[in-house]
Amino acid sequence: MAFGISGHRWLKRFAFALVLYIVILPLWWYSLGALSAVAGACASWIYTFFDARVTLNPRGRVVQFVLNGRLQTNGVRMDMLTYGLPMLMALVIVTRSNSRVASLRALAVGCAVMFVLTVCALMAWAKMTSGQLEQQAAQGSDQSSFFFLAFHGFGFSQPAIAVLIWLMLIMLGLFKGRSKQRRRVATVARNVSCPCGSGRKYKRCCGA
């Protein structure tokens, strides 16, 4: 598996990735509002198919939880769910590829995977929150332990998730450009002897 790093070049690439990470961080921070709006809207729309009482209300960099039309006090910060995204983008950009198209394709796929995981984490958070509220009201057993682990596991392991997505992009070969092999067709003059050895001209033999 080729990572595009050989010899001491890994140190330069690591320094370049670190600089890119520092540059991308403020861009990521200022785009959290838009990311929260899009991811929150998608998660809310999907989650209504499972529980119509619950909606997710994006407000700034925070996605709030609404149950039966009542806004709850708890909310989830989008920076906690996406702080691995700048690291993923820096890793993808510094990875050597055959073409810019391949780099852009890998970057788009990586960001799309991170976005889908973020939407799933928001739905797990909604399920966890609704389960906790129902448990408090009914004073029964809490059934949201799995979603609690899934949500907090995703939130606290963002660097590991970014590296895993980057490795997945490499193993899938998304950094390799599509090489088009052109077949060279040998042209034979029509009035020369046919290469098949028949003794006739090519135009009256294989070229007929």
What tokens appear for 90 in the block?
A: 């820096």
Q: For residue 183, what pLDDT is reported?
A: 44
Rg of the chain over Cα atoms, rounded to whole angstroms, equals: 28
pLDDT band of 17, cuts 50, 70, 90: confident
Q: For residue 187, what pLDDT is reported?
A: 66
pLDDT band of 8, cuts 50, 70, 90: low
The domains of the chain are located at 9-177
Q: Is pLDDT larger for residue 134 or for residue 157?
A: 157
How far is CA 12 from each of CA 6, 16, 140, 193, rounded to the nearest angstrom?
11, 6, 57, 60
- Is residue 111 over pLDDT 70? yes
